[in-house]
């Protein structure tokens, strides 16, 4: 009988008894938080992990435990990847393609949240450019390395419920910048990318899935002011109490990374392909907003036509067809 996991399941619980010897997994954002834990548990179960990070010195310091826990052939290799620079993205992807070594899983974990208005090296709004465009180009350039049966896991967020993508003004060129709206757009894009990726690759036995890790205290909140995260939690709990729902609780990092490894390794391909997952299960559709503790995914984030349109717009923005 298949094991059942939930919101409090940890990475090691999800992978209990799983041997990943011979598997090659690429994880972005391995210099802190969820990326480090994802790499650690995969290597501990025998996978060869390629960890991508903007700051390699920081990543080296952060991944000591990954190497200590690696067993059964598991190992960690670090590569430089700055998702806010297409020059860096293309260089990292081209190097991997030139090496020609196959991959079994790609986990697009890196990202920024609620950043002040800014532009990437290539002129894209910071959150959309880093969270979506950088991964869009990187993943598409290395997708040919995925073996049949492989998976692409795109880390999204319940923050997608704050806003759909704006294909007419993705860079806020018309003004009215709001860091949470920008985050919502970028996270919706992360889901739509997985939806269209799944459609394009599933005939070759490769699936795409988006996941929400849950609320975790990590460096993702570095752009927030001291106390902002606690204030947000208090606001969520006030609303939850008014609705008669359980209080919000932060997840630990191992609990937060559990859905990524569940969707990438444990869940059935047909179960999760083209879907949005949270708490180690496939989420249902909802009309709830970002500040509602109800689980679920907004319909616009799984809309197939919207996913195709975002893909086309992204290609237009980077000047490259995939």
Active site residues: 183
Q: How far apart are CA 108 and CA 152, in angstroms?
A: 8
Burial class (CB in 10 A: 0-12, 13-18, 19+), 100: exposed
Q: How far apart are CA 48 and CA 195, in angstroms?
A: 27
Enumerate residues 6+ apart whose C-beta is below 8 A from 48: 23, 24, 25, 73, 74, 75, 77
Q: In what order do the strands lie in the sheet with 207-212?
A: 75-80, 48-53, 24-28, 103-108, 146-155, 207-212, 276-278, 281-282
Which tokens belong to 46? Answer: 């025998």
Cα angle 207, 203, 186 (rounded to 5 degrees) comes to 40
**Strands 24-28 and 75-80: what pairing?**
unpaired
Write out the DSSP string of 125-147: BHHIIIIIIIHHHHHHHHGGGEE
């Amino acid at each position: 009988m298949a094991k059942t996991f939930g919101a409090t399941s940890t990475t090691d619980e999800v992978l209990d008894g799983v041997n990943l010897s011979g598997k090659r997994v690429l994880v972005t954002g391995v210099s802190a938080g969820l990326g480090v834990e994802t790499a650690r548990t995969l290597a501990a179960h025998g996978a060869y992990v390629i960890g991508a990070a903007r700051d390699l010195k920081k990543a080296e310091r952060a991944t000591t435990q990954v190497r200590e826990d690696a067993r059964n052939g598991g190992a960690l290799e670090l590569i430089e990847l700055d998702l806010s620079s297409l020059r860096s993205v293309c260089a990292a992807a081209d190097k991997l393609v030139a090496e020609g070594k196959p991959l079994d899983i790609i986990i697009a974990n890196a990202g920024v949240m609620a950043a002040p208005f800014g532009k990437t090296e290539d002129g894209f709004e910071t959150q959309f450019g880093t969270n979506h465009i950088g991964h869009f180009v990187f993943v598409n350039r290395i997708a040919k390395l995925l073996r049949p049966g492989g998976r692409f896991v795109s880390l999204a967020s319940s923050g997608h419920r704050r806003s759909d993508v704006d294909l007419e003004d993705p860079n806020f060129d018309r003004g009215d910048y709001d860091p949470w709206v920008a985050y919502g757009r970028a996270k919706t894009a992360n889901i739509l990318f997985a939806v269209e990726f799944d459609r394009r690759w599933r005939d070759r036995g490769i699936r795409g899935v988006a996941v929400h890790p849950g609320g975790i205290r990590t460096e993702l909140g570095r752009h927030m002011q001291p106390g902002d995260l606690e204030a947000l939690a208090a606001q969520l709990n006030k609303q939850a109490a008014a609705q008669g729902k359980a209080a919000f609780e932060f997840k630990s990092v191992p609990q937060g990374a559990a859905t990524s490894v569940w969707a990438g390794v444990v869940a059935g391909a047909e179960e999760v392909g083209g879907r949005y997952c949270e708490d180690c299960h496939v989420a249902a559709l909802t009309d709830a907003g970002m500040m509602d503790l109800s689980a679920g995914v907004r319909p616009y984030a799984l809309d197939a036509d919207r996913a195709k349109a975002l893909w086309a717009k992204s290609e237009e923005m980077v000047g490259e067809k995939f």
